């Protein structure tokens, strides 16, 4: 591989021009959509609560998100392999922008009725979720395939670190921008609608950028979709390295799914922690955005050196670290005192879970053939996310009666996943010393 095509995650900004063009375009699109998602998605459970939904409904919303995450990646990966990443990602991007717009218009749509029957306002947030997740979930296989096709096997963690860096900058700036808008608004609903308006604009711009600048000539086109039998065949054909990873990932993500949708509710309602110091006054909702910013700042600082560290010690230790943070965070959060600085420290700790993501993604797509990266990714996430579908509903049902028990059980399940991977996980050959 030539020097121009090598990816150096330790200098993602200084060497932006040296990135393969399509990885760079994908990175910019990731930044745009991550900004939009993180401005909005983490706040939707609170939006649901403000619009009258209870813990059970919030849990069902989380499970619908899990269902979408389960159902979308496989057909999205198959489409990207068959049609090419450019056309697939453009379509998915416009769907996501439409979903953000639907969330924005939800209060007005909530006034509509079908004869004598009126839908609850929050119903439209469920409908919007079906669209907002299109780029993130349908496009998952396409984004993996672009990096797979443009980087060498030994550089996969570095390639994913570069795209993840841009993505996590969106994760950093999105919540901070949301916090600023929420702090200026007279109430949460008004401020969040401002946030949604910005998200619509960002998603449209991100879609246009990737459509105009992505070079589709380098896409590898895989075989056409051959029906349900192909899905089963692809699942049976998952590379051996992925099997213990998948089992552990199922447990860790199920655990996270039990609690994740309630993180914002814990900060804004259960702990009710805001900031009033040094002339600054932030509501709990605005403070939650700051906490997410802290989380992402730590992720950005940790992820880049850890991706190179994985090249020396292997992918497995780095993946195990990320799994451990995922598992421990829920029980630590629910037992935290209502103190702003303690929450800052906890969310900084949570940021360490992202340090393992480039290695995790490299392990998923690395063993796949060059023209099947999207399909392997889709198969993997299909299994993981199908099993995780009921996690948020289960967590919501328990949270409604005992929040501490819900988060403690979540961490217990996650620890089981960490232990399994520590014992049974195997290394990807390209990183084995």
DSSP string for residues in 369-395: -TT-HHHHHHHHHHHHHHHHTTHHHHH
Q: Which residue has the higher pLDDT, 119 or 404?
A: 404
For residues 251-272, give the mean pLDDT. 95
Q: How confident is the model at residue 98 (pLDDT cuts 50, 70, 90)?
A: very high
- Cα separation, 62 vs 261, in Å, equals 6
The structure tokens listed for 278 are 């040094």
pLDDT given at position 362: 77
Residues 6+ apart with CB under 8 A from 256: 326, 330, 391, 410, 414
For residues 409-419, give the mean pLDDT. 97
pLDDT at 111 > cutoff 60: yes
Q: Which residue has the higher pLDDT, 245 or 111?
A: 245
Q: What is the dihedral of CA 98, 132, 171, 244, to 10 degrees?
A: -160
pLDDT given at position 21: 65
pLDDT given at position 224: 46
- Measured in residues, the chain has a length of 433
* DSSP-assigned beta bridge partners for residue 280: 277
The per-residue pLDDT of the chain, averaged, comes to: 81
pLDDT given at position 4: 42
pLDDT at 7 > cutoff 60: no
- DSSP H/E element including 40: helix 21-40
The structure tokens listed for 282 are 């932030």
Q: What percent of the chain has pLDDT over 90?
A: 41
Q: Dump the DSSP string for 192-232.
A: HHHHHHHHHHHHHHHHHHHHHH--GGGPPP-PPP--HHHHH
Query: Within a 10 A sphere around the Cβ of 164, how many other Cβ atoms?
Result: 28
pLDDT given at position 10: 45
Q: What is the pLDDT of residues 303-351, one digit of tens each?
A: 778 777 777 777 888 889 899 999 999 999 999 999 999 999 999 999 9
Asked whether the beta carbons of 409 and 232 are under 8 A apart, the reply is no
- Cα separation, 28 vs 177, in Å, equals 18
pLDDT given at position 217: 57
Q: How confident is the model at residue 258 (pLDDT cuts 50, 70, 90)?
A: very high
Q: Dump the DSSP string for 42-98.
A: GGHHHHHHHTT--HHHHHHHHHHHHHHHHHSHHHHHHHHHHH-HHHHHHHHHHHHHH
Q: What is the pLDDT of residues 268-306, one digit of tens each?
A: 999 999 887 667 788 999 999 999 999 989 888 887 787
The structure tokens listed for 390 are 């009921």
* Crossing angle of helices 373-388 and 55-71, rounded to 10°: 150
Q: How confident is the model at residue 380 (pLDDT cuts 50, 70, 90)?
A: confident
Q: How confident is the model at residue 171 (pLDDT cuts 50, 70, 90)?
A: confident
pLDDT at 363 > cutoff 50: yes
- Cα separation, 28 vs 163, in Å, equals 8
pLDDT given at position 148: 62
* DSSP-assigned beta bridge partners for residue 117: 114
Q: How confident is the model at residue 26 (pLDDT cuts 50, 70, 90)?
A: confident
Instruction: Reduce the DSSP state of residue 276 to 3 states and report it.
Output: strand
Alpha helices in 116-223 (DSSP H): 123-132, 140-150, 156-184, 188-213
Q: Which residue has the higher pLDDT, 371 or 192?
A: 192
The structure tokens listed for 237 are 């054909």
Q: What is the pLDDT of residues 223-239, one digit of tens each?
A: 444 555 666 777 777 77
pLDDT given at position 143: 59
Q: Which CATH class is domain 19-216+240-431?
A: mainly alpha
Q: Which residue has the higher pLDDT, 429 or 256?
A: 256
- Cα separation, 401 vs 2, in Å, equals 59
Q: Which residue has the higher pLDDT, 145 or 239?
A: 239
pLDDT given at position 33: 87
Taking CA atoms, 380 is separated from 92, 168, 232, 290, 363, in Å, by 20, 23, 12, 33, 11
pTM over cut 0.75? yes
Q: Which residue has the higher pLDDT, 339 or 367?
A: 339
- Cα separation, 224 vs 352, in Å, equals 39
């Amino acid at each position: 591989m030539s020097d121009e095509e090598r990816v150096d995650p330790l200098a993602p900004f200084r060497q932006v021009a040296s990135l393969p063009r399509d990885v760079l375009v994908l990175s910019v699109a990731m930044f745009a959509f991550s900004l939009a998602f993180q401005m909005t998605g983490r706040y939707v459970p609170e939006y649901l609560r403000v619009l009258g939904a209870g813990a059970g409904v919030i849990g069902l919303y989380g499970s619908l998100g899990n269902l979408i995450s389960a159902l979308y990646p496989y057909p999205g990966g198959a489409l990207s392999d068959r049609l090419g990443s450019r056309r697939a990602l453009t379509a998915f991007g416009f769907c996501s922008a439409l979903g953000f717009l639907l969330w924005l218009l939800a209060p007005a749509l909530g006034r509509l009725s079908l004869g004598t029957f009126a839908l609850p306002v929050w119903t439209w947030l469920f409908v919007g979720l079906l669209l907002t997740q299109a780029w993130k979930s349908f496009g998952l296989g396409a984004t993996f395939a672009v990096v797979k096709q443009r980087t060498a096997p030994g550089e996969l963690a570095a390639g994913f670190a570069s795209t993840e860096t841009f993505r996590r900058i969106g994760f950093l700036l999105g919540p901070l921008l949301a916090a600023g808008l929420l702090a200026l608004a007279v109430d949460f609903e008004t401020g969040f609608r401002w946030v949604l308006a910005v998200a619509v604009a960002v998603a449209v711009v991100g879609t246009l950028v990737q459509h105009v600048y992505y070079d589709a000539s380098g896409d590898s086109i895989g075989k056409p979709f051959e029906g349900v039998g192909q899905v089963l065949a692809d699942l049976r054909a998952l590379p051996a390295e992925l099997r213990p990873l998948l089992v552990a990932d199922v447990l860790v993500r199920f655990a996270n799914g039990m609690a994740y949708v309630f993180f914002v509710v814990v900060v804004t309602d259960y702990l009710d922690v805001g900031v009033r110091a040094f002339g600054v006054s932030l509501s709990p909702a605005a403070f939650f955005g700051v906490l997410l910013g802290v989380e992402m700042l730590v992720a950005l600082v940790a992820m880049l050196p850890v991706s190179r560290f994985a090249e020396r010690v292997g992918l497995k230790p780095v993946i195990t670290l990320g799994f451990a943070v995922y598992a421990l965070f829920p029980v630590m959060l629910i037992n935290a005192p209502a103190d702003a600085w303690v929450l800052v420290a906890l969310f900084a700790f949570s940021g360490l879970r992202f340090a393992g993501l480039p290695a995790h993604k490299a392990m998923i797509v690395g063993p796949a053939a060059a023209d099947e990266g999207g399909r392997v990714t889709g198969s993997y996430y299909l299994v993981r996310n199908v099993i995780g579908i009921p996690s948020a509903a289960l967590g919501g049902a328990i949270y409604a009666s005992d929040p501490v028990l819900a988060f403690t059980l979540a961490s217990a399940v996650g620890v089981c996943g960490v232990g399994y991977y520590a014992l049974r996980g195997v290394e990807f050959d390209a990183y084995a010393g």
